[in-house]
Structures are given as structure tokens and as C-alpha cells.
């Protein structure tokens, strides 16, 4: 069986930046084991699978190791593929997900805007060994679901982090968002570490901004924020807190189109 596959760089103005994602448009769902095997073979942070559902699409995301409940950059990628290759001409693309509810992506020229649920963090007891694993002591630690939010004083501290991934972040398998105030027109910076999900460091993480945007909106007293994820590849997001939703705008750069050959599902 052959399937179409698209690889694009999300939250990027050009290829080789942002976060690469694979998108596999399907007519019907494949067995979970086969989709997981495809994601492992792609070896990207996420592979998104879509299936038509009336005037919307069902959407699922897989890392090379597990299925995840929410992924921003691969949703942006899926919307770009639908808008440019599968079903062009719509101003909005609706996605039905199993654990994150309905998500939408608005398309205006080359700008795509995600509408995601906000996931505010609450103060948490510092996780044992977190500072040692990160290689620096955060000024504050909060938690939102399976993510710890480690807040630092400066962008330079976040950029300089060299985590010991084997020690992050203990037996609970939590992921870690590291953040600090930005500079030069950027309101805040971040990095995202998720070794328990099979991703030591994610280049640009839309879902992490569901927590970052509420935190920084409250701290800075503004609902519109410019963000930059300061991974090696890096990526920029224009964000807005809209009640209990987070809107994130970015661009997508196409990289690869082809077909994959897999066992019949």
C-alpha cells in the first residue's frame, strides 16, 4: 500500500528552521501500530495523520515513541497540507481530536493561526533533581498537566541549558518547558524537553505555548505576545490569549513530498 507523505517546516519562514513535521493524509484510519511504525520510521518530533470527517478532518499525532494528546506544529503542518495540496480555498480548517477537542487553523495568505485550549500552570513544589538535570536553578517552578514550567531570569540562561536528558524529570515522565523574558522585541523565550515522549528537545512547540502564553500574559499584563523558541533550529510565534484559548500564528515552509510504501492496513 502506498500513502502520500508531506514533510514541512512549521513556524519557519524558510526550510531548515522551525520544527519539521510529517503529514500523512488518509481516507480511513490505519491500525495504531502501523501509524506508530510510520512515525518511528519518519523519526521526526511528530507525524500527523488526518482522515476526512464531513466538513472537518479527524487528526492524530505520533512521536517516534508514543501518540500525544496535543501538538501545535504538526497541526499547523496538517492545515498547510490541506490548504495547499488536498482541499484548498478554505479560510478555516477544523480538526476533531480525541483528547484536545475541536481545533481550528485560520489561513490568511501565508500566515496560519492555531486556536488551541489554554493550559495555565499553577505553582508546584520544585521537582527533586530538576535543577541538577537542567544544569541551572530556575527562579520558579510551576506545573500544567504533564509539563513542568521552569522559569529563569534571562534568555541567556535558557539558551545555555545543557540538560542531562536521562535525568529529566524523574519517574513521573514529565516534560519540561524552560522559559525567560525575551529581548529585542521578543516578549519571552523558551525551550522544551520531552525525553519521556521520545524527543530530547523539540525545536518549536505549539502545545507548550498553551501554558507559556497564559503565564506571560499575566506576568506582563498583555494578551498579545511575541515568542521565540531558542532551540538550535529556532522558531517564532505571534501569540494572543483569548479567554480560555491561545491563538498562535506562524508560517510553514514545504520541504518534501512523496509516497511511502507500507503493509496493507
Residues assigned a catalytic role: 46
Residue 77, phi-psi category: left (phi > 0), alpha (psi -120 to 50), beta (remainder): alpha
The radius of gyration computed from the CA coordinates of the chain, to the nearest angstrom, equals 18
DSSP letters along 119-141, please?
A: ---EE-PPPTTHHHHHTS--SEE
DSSP letters along 25-74, please?
A: E-SSPPPHHHHHHHHHHHTSSEEEEEEEETTEEEEEEE-SS-EES--HHH
Q: Rounded distance, CA 195 to CA 166, Å? A: 8
Amino acid at each position: 500500500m502506498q500513502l502520500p507523505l508531506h514533510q514541512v517546516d512549521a513556524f519557519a519562514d524558510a526550510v531548515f528552521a522551525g520544527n519539521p513535521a510529517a503529514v500523512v493524509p488518509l481516507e480511513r484510519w490505519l491500525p495504531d501500530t502501523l501509524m506508530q511504525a510510520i512515525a518511528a520510521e519518519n523519526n521526526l518530533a511528530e507525524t500527523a495523520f488526518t482522515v476526512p470527517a464531513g466538513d472537518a478532518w479527524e487528526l492524530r499525532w505520533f512521536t517516534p515513541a508514543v501518540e500525544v494528546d496535543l501538538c501545535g506544529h504538526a497541526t499547523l503542518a496538517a492545515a498547510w497540507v490541506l490548504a495547499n495540496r488536498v482541499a484548498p480555498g478554505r479560510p478555516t480548517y477544523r480538526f476533531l481530536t480525541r483528547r484536545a477537542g475541536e481545533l481550528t487553523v485560520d489561513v490568511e495568505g501565508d500566515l496560519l493561526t492555531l486556536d488551541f485550549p489554554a493550559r495555565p500552570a499553577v505553582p508546584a513544589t520544585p521537582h527533586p533533581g530538576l535543577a541538577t538535570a537542567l544544569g541551572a536553578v530556575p527562579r520558579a517552578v510551576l506545573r500544567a498537566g504533564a509539563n513542568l514550567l521552569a522559569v529563569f531570569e534571562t534568555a541567556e540562561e535558557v539558551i545555555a541549558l545543557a540538560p542531562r536528558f536521562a535525568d529529566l524529570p524523574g519517574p513521573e515522565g514529565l516534560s519540561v518547558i524552560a522559559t525567560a523574558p525575551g529581548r529585542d522585541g521578543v516578549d519571552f523565550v523558551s525551550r522544551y524537553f520531552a525525553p519521556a515522549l521520545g524527543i530530547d528537545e523539540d525545536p518549536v512547540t505549539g502545545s507548550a505555548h498553551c501554558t507559556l502564553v497564559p503565564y506571560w500574559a499575566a506576568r506582563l499584563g498583555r494578551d498579545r505576545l511575541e515568542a521565540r523558541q531558542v532551540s538550535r533550529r529556532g522558531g517564532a510565534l505571534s501569540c494572543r490569549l483569548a479567554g480560555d484559548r491561545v491563538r498562535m500564528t506562524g508560517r510553514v515552509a514545504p520541504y518534501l513530498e512523496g509516497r511511502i510504501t507500507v503493509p496493507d492496513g
